[in-house]
Amino acid sequence: MTVSMGRALNQALADALSEDPGVLVFGEDVGPLGGVFRVTDGLTARFGESRVFDTPLAESGIVGTAIGMAMNGLRPVVEMQFDAFAYPAFEQITSHLAKMRNRTRGRVSLPVVIRVPYGGGIGGVEHHCDSSEAYYTHTPGLTVVTPGTPDDAYRLLRDSIASPDPVIFLEPKRRYWAKGELSGAAVPMDRALVRRTGRDVTLIAYGPMVATALETAEAAVEEGWDVEVVDLRSLSPFDDETVCASVRKTGRAVVVHEAAGFGGYGAEVVARVTERCFHHLHAPVLRVTGFDIPYPPPKLEEHHLPNVDRILDAVARLQWDDEVVGGYRA
């Protein structure tokens, strides 16, 4: 079945609501309106106001009450309307959602999913295009996942709802309308997937950049590079095994994300891949990321976002002419 990512998410919510009476969906405008991206379209009509409902406009309130509900045995799936509007909930997420299980020595589970449409590329104005993954991935206790395809949107959301741990579920909003097959195949939630095999260099991407990385790989064929693309899917925990196997094979890697580079998620990827694969690397692992600036206005965002050319450029800088294996240059 070919569906858009938005529909795949809607289907995942509907299936979870059908199968488990403890699942609730709530947030701002997720009820009759179906969410500003229509991800919850039709769910109130189908499951009723007590399972899918609008809340007062207060993100800390949404997450804080979700915590209370989860303590009382329910499985809330809440929506933050846009990335930057999750920040008012930061304290509840960081000090409670992430820490409750640890604090209580495992006695209190918080199976809460926080859906966050994130990233740019849709001509959105200020505060509507942040890539906030690094704030969450640095917070122990949170699971952070992000789909790059409709198929993963469906299964990662189902897995997130089923997870006993709180999950930050990052939805790449520019891919809501991108279509793909629902395979029905299961993939463990914490595993990365090699989306395209290649011998020369590994592109490590996630969420909105998976499609861009795959495009780059196609474009690279012309340049004579055989590019492998790894889709991380799970940002925390990180699948060292899959990523390092790829990088050890290719000896070169580029990490791609929309978020600002400085202190971004890519830094962790570079750091751990370098630690684990140092002697396999022909060149430092490079990053292609957003600039270290607030997300730009619509008319300028194209300059900020990683694109095929910029990724190809980084690939070109991976010291291809450096034939001395592990060569040392003063």
Ligand X SMILES: Cc1ncc(C[n+]2csc(CCOP(=O)(O)OP(=O)(O)O)c2C)c(N)n1
> Residue numbers of the site for its own copies (CB under 8 A)?
60, 84, 87-88, 90-91, 94-95, 98-99, 102-103, 126-127, 134-135, 137-138, 140-141, 236, 238, 259-260, 262-268, 270-272, 274-275, 278-281, 283-287, 292-294, 325-330
Does 71 contact other proteins by CB under 8 A? yes
How far apart are CB 47 and its own copies at their closest, in Å?
Answer: 31
Nearest to 97 by CA among 159, 166, 30: 166
Where b means 16+ CB within 10 Å and e means fewer, 105-143 reads eeeebbbbbbbbbbbbbbebeeebbbbbbbbbbebebbb
Considering the complex, state which of residue 189 and residue 260 has its C-beta at the smaller distance from its own copies: 260
β-sheet bridge partners, residue 196: 229
Q: Which of other proteins, its own copies, ligand X, none does residue 197 bind to, with CB < 5 to 8 Å depending on kind? A: none
Considering the complex, state which of residue 149 and residue 236 has its C-beta at the smaller distance from other proteins: 236
Q: Residue 67 and residue 1: Cα distance in Å, rounded? A: 35
Of 57, 221, 271, 316, the one binding other proteins (CB under 8 A) is 57
Residues contacting 176, CB < 8 A, separation 6+:
4, 5, 6, 37, 39, 117
Considering the complex, state which of residue 92 and residue 149 has its C-beta at the smaller distance from other proteins: 92
Residues 39-68 within binding reach of ligand X (CB under 6 A): 57
Active site residues: 128
**254, two tokens:** 């580029």
Nearest to 209 by CA among 266, 137, 252: 266
- What binding mask, one character per residue, do residues 195-234 give for other proteins by CB under 8 A, x or -? ----------------------------------------
Cβ pair 129, 119 in contact under 8 A: yes
Question: What Å distances lie between residue 231 and 27, 174, 200, 210, CA to CA?
Answer: 29, 17, 17, 6
How far apart are CB 37 and ligand X at their closest, in Å?
Answer: 12
Window of 122-130, 150-158, 192-200, 206-214 that interacts with other proteins by CB under 8 A: 122-130
Considering the complex, state which of residue 182 and residue 286 has its C-beta at the smaller distance from its own copies: 286
Does 131 contact ligand X by CB under 6 A? no
Q: Which residue is nearest to ligand X (CB)?
A: 85
Cβ pair 82, 109 in contact under 8 A: no
Window of 96-104, 146-154, 179-187, 199-207 that interacts with other proteins by CB under 8 A: 96-104
Nearest to 155 by CA among 31, 8, 330: 8
Q: Residue 41 and residue 30: Cα distance in Å, rounded? A: 8
Q: Which residues contribute to the site for ligand X (CB under 6 A)?
A: 28, 57, 81, 85, 88
